[in-house]
Amino acid sequence: MQRRWHLLRHFVRQDLAQRYAGQLTGLAWIALAPLLQLALFTLVFGYIFKARVPGLEGGGYVAFLALGMWPWFAFSEAVTRAASAVTDHIGLLNKVAVPPEVLIAARVATPFLLHATGFVLVLGAIVALGTPLHFAGLPAVLAAWLVLLLLALAVGTLAAVLQVFVRDLAQLVAYLLTAWMFLSPVLYTREMSPAAMQGWMQVNPIAGIVESAREPLLFGRWDAPGLLVAAIGATVVAAIAIVLFRRVRPHLHDFL
């Protein structure tokens, strides 16, 4: 177990080093990228589309958007990169006894580290831009991120294992993730979606998670049962992922 933990740290460090070291902007990029993205969203949604959420003033929509987008960025990037965690390391896996689950976990951990950091910076930016936040809601937000991490590990593991058997899964994963974002209350609120989608919102764990990462800070209210349902959903997906992984694990190398 300790060896796995050491290995996980090794691969996360390697991943971080590879993505940021040697690049011109280096570490500063980690701080700048989220803020630049937020500026873009402000321009497009706040000023061009003039989108509004009921109960929030003009600058409030940008805060709404930012607080929902960052958890989604983390989830989507984690799943996309985890999906190819095993197939990207075929050479390594065929020569060294590296547990594949460590490779998958590392691919999930890195985006979460980056985007959680970005999220904290975004919080600062929102306050600086004059939208008040209810910081008493932070524990609920943390809980939402943890459920999100569990869901990302589960979906990432499913995708990584299936990718070994169906190599063109990657394109499908990218498409499904885009669809999932638009079908989740990231750019809008649950209330704004049509009645036909309400049932789906109940079972879509991303809905409960994104709301719990956003609304306690923004409105000072928290839909705790919503997060609980999401947590149960994430646990079910994780259980499926574990069963699949256990069943396929002894044969994984045969198909690399």
Partner 1 sequence: MNAPLLEARSLGKSYPRDSDARGRFGALLRLLAGRPIPRLPVLSDISLEVVRGQSLAIIGENGAGKSTLLKLLSGVIAPTTGSVRRTGSLGALLELGAGFDAEQSGRENIRLSARLMGWDAEHLAQRFDEIVAFADIGRYLDEPVKHYSSGMVVRLGFAVVAAVRPDLLITDEVLAVGDESFQKKCIRWMEDYLAGGGTLLLVSHSMYHVQKLCRHALWLREGKVAAYGDVFEVTQDYLAYHERKSAAESGPALDAHYSGGEYRITAVELNGEGGTVPCVLQAGESLALSVTLHSPDGRRPGLALGLARADGTPVYGLTTDMEPVPAAQVDAGHWSYRCVFPDLPLLPGSYTVNLHAMEPEGVRLYDTVERGVVIRGATREVGMVRLLHRWEA
Residues that bind partner 1 (CB under 8 A): 3, 6-7, 10, 14, 89, 91-98, 162, 164-167, 244, 247-255
Say which DSSP state 25 is in: S
Shortest reach from residue 248's CB to partner 1, in Å: 6
Distance CA 193, CA 22 (A): 44
Task: Name the residue among 183, 159, 176, 184 with its Cα closest to residue 248.
Answer: 159
Distance CA 20, CA 28 (A): 9
Shortest reach from residue 184's CB to partner 1, in Å: 28
Distance CA 13, CA 17 (A): 6
Distance CA 165, CA 105 (A): 19
Residue 228, both tokens: 């609980």
Shortest reach from residue 252's CB to partner 1, in Å: 8
Dihedrals phi, psi of 89, to nearest 5 degrees? -115, 30
When the beta carbons of 221 and 247 are compared against partner 1, the nearer one is 247
Task: Name the residue among 178, 123, 175 with its Cα closest to residue 145.
Answer: 123
Shortest reach from residue 33's CB to partner 1, in Å: 24
Distance CA 133, CA 237 (A): 32
When the beta carbons of 135 and 255 are compared against partner 1, the nearer one is 255
Shortest reach from residue 117's CB to partner 1, in Å: 22
When the beta carbons of 116 and 240 are compared against partner 1, the nearer one is 240
Shortest reach from residue 89's CB to partner 1, in Å: 7
Q: Which residues have a Cβ under 8 Å from the Cβ of 203 and sit 6 or more positions away?
A: 233
When the beta carbons of 97 and 196 are compared against partner 1, the nearer one is 97
Distance CA 74, CA 109 (A): 9
When the beta carbons of 4 and 221 are compared against partner 1, the nearer one is 4
Q: Which residue matches tokens 């701080």?
A: 31
When the beta carbons of 54 and 91 are compared against partner 1, the nearer one is 91
When the beta carbons of 105 and 126 are compared against partner 1, the nearer one is 105
Distance CA 233, CA 235 (A): 5
Say which DSSP state 47 is in: I
Shortest reach from residue 96's CB to partner 1, in Å: 5
